Amino acid sequence: MPKIGMEPVRRKALVDAAMRVIGDHGSLTVTMSEIAKQAGVSPALAHHYFGSKEQLLIETVRSHLQRLRDSVVTELGAAKTPREKLSAIIRVSFQADQFAPETIAAWLAFYAEAQRSEETRRFLVIYARRLRSNLLANLKALCPGEDAERVAEGAAAMIDGLYIRQSLRSAPISIEASIALTEDYINALLAPLSQKAAPSKGQIK
Amino acid sequence: MPKIGMEPVRRKALVDAAMRVIGDHGSLTVTMSEIAKQAGVSPALAHHYFGSKEQLLIETVRSHLQRLRDSVVTELGAAKTPREKLSAIIRVSFQADQFAPETIAAWLAFYAEAQRSEETRRFLVIYARRLRSNLLANLKALCPGEDAERVAEGAAAMIDGLYIRQSLRSAPISIEASIALTEDYINALLAPLSQKAAPSKGQIK
DNA sequence: TTTTGTTGATTGATCAGTCAATCAAAAATA
DNA sequence: TATTTTTGATTGACTGATCAATCAACAAAA
């Protein structure tokens, strides 16, 4: 079977497998064997390409955030006005695949891992900063800078909070409701600050 | 040294030690030895009293949430009006000891664990429900029930979100700023709904 | 003497990581 | 084209370390 140029194929297969196994398992305490099995290769091969389990996990976070970033870039390009761009950012955050239980479980596991792995932490910090600054840039077009900072901080927190609450799977909130809550927050805070923004009247459920 | 009536003393020491070790380590992958050492006893004793590592961890979550609950009850008792009670709930959530990096790290670890341990999950669900219903009960005194539901959901999400963002320790938000953001959210959403509530003008930083 | 508290030593299982060996395609050579 | 050499892909078997859990034994109180 051995053909040349397998490396990128295997790396991708292993990273994808890791994401799936972590999501199912809901934790980073997964074995290399499980991941390798899911990817259809031997554990030894995973070590061959990634050197260590930690490195494989780091690549997995990286790839996951990269995909998320791509979605944001695409959606932001399609949106015209700052307000539309804000909605686009929110929409991407709650995209169906992002909001799937396994994805959320994996996400959570990475946050926990970031407490120990400096490199994992760095990736998540980059994500958090990007979310905040994307929100901030567009909010600044709609209200004074100081207020924009607050609202960006609050909206980012709300998005992350809706995620983490989802992970408990008790009284799960729908994607639409999550989007509506975040939109409402922005509308409500913007209402008294801007001329054009209409008062909040979002629908939930 | 063995004296009688040691059991409750040891149990508490072990649970407290577990909390500390988990907080420092930022993960539940801590050894019984570490916990026992921190508590000043042998690993065998930890097993003697708790039967298994999992059970010790579960007791640790339980004790942690119990303490949080006690704080809420106390503060709620001191508050008079519904609006004051809302502020009390928020204040407790961001209490200094709750907002300490190690506490947040431990909290996060428990959330991750809840993906695997049904019992851990149950405790966290209870906490989430209680937070939500405490908020809801008091919001209902200030606005129509339907709106109260939304605001309670949003406020709970924002509180949890501020927590999780804190765990990354990049651009940490102060306790006061976290409280202000949550208060602002409630004020802003309540403003157009209630007669008495004043429009948001909270100070941050 | 019985009961409660306590530990050191040990066991058994689990896993990350290593290594030597194999296999088949590609490249070099005849 | 046919043959040999090289090289990347791949694995099974093994190792060493870690750790939860057990147990037999001992010490002090009742």
Tell me how long chain B is: 205
CA A182 to CA A190: how far, in whole Å? Answer: 12
Please answer yes or no on whether B113 and A160 come within 8 Å at the CB atom: no
Which of A21, A165, A204 to mutate: most B Cβ within 10 Å? A165
Residue B200 pLDDT > 60: no
Confidence of residue B28 (pLDDT cuts 50, 70, 90): very high
Query: What percentage of chain A has pLDDT greater than the value 70?
Result: 93
Q: Angle formed by the axes of helices A7-25 and A32-39, to 10°? A: 120
Nearest to A150 by CA among B138, B142, B41, B183: B183
Residue A31 beta carbon within 7 A of nucleic strand D: no
Kindly report, residue by residue over A79-120, the tens digit of the pLDDT: 999 999 999 999 999 998 889 999 999 999 999 999 999 999
**Distance of C1' in D1 from CA in A41, Å:** 37
State the amino acid at position A26 in one-letter form. Answer: G
What is the residue whose two structure tokens read 């051995």?
A2
CA A99 to CA A22: how far, in whole Å? Answer: 15
The answer to whether residue A157 neighbours chain B at the CB level (below 8 Å) is yes
Cα torsion angle, A151, A156, A161, A163, sign = positive
Q: For residues A14-25, give the mean pLDDT.
A: 96
CB atoms within 10 A of CB B5: 6
The burial class, CB within 10 Å (0-12 / 13-18 / 19+), for A71 is middle
Nearest to A142 by CA among A187, A172, A91: A187
Please answer yes or no on whether A157 and B150 come within 8 Å at the CB atom: no
Confidence of residue B4 (pLDDT cuts 50, 70, 90): confident
Q: For residues B123-138, give the mean pLDDT.
A: 95
Question: Which backbone phi and psi does B174 adopt, to 5 degrees?
Answer: -70, 160
The answer to whether residue B130 neighbours chain A at the CB level (below 8 Å) is no
Paired tokens of A36: 């390798």
**Distance of C1' in D11 from CA in A24, Å:** 27
State the amino acid at position A124 in one-letter form. Answer: L
Residue A202 pLDDT > 80: no
What is the residue whose two structure tokens read 């988990």?
B22
CA B2 to CA A162: how far, in whole Å? Answer: 50
Instruction: Give the nearest chain A residue to B113 (CA atoms).
Output: A27
Residue B63 pLDDT > 70: yes
Residue A100 DSSP one-character state: S
Paired tokens of A164: 């983490």
Residue A144 DSSP one-character state: -
Residue B68 pLDDT > 60: yes
State the amino acid at position A17 in one-letter form. Answer: A
Confidence of residue B201 (pLDDT cuts 50, 70, 90): very low
Kindly report, residue by residue over B141-175, the tens digit of the pLDDT: 999 999 999 999 999 999 999 999 999 998 899 99
Residue A203 pLDDT > 90: no
Residue A31 pLDDT > 60: yes
Rg of chain B (C-alpha set): 19
Q: Are A15 and A60 in contact (CB under 8 A)?
A: yes
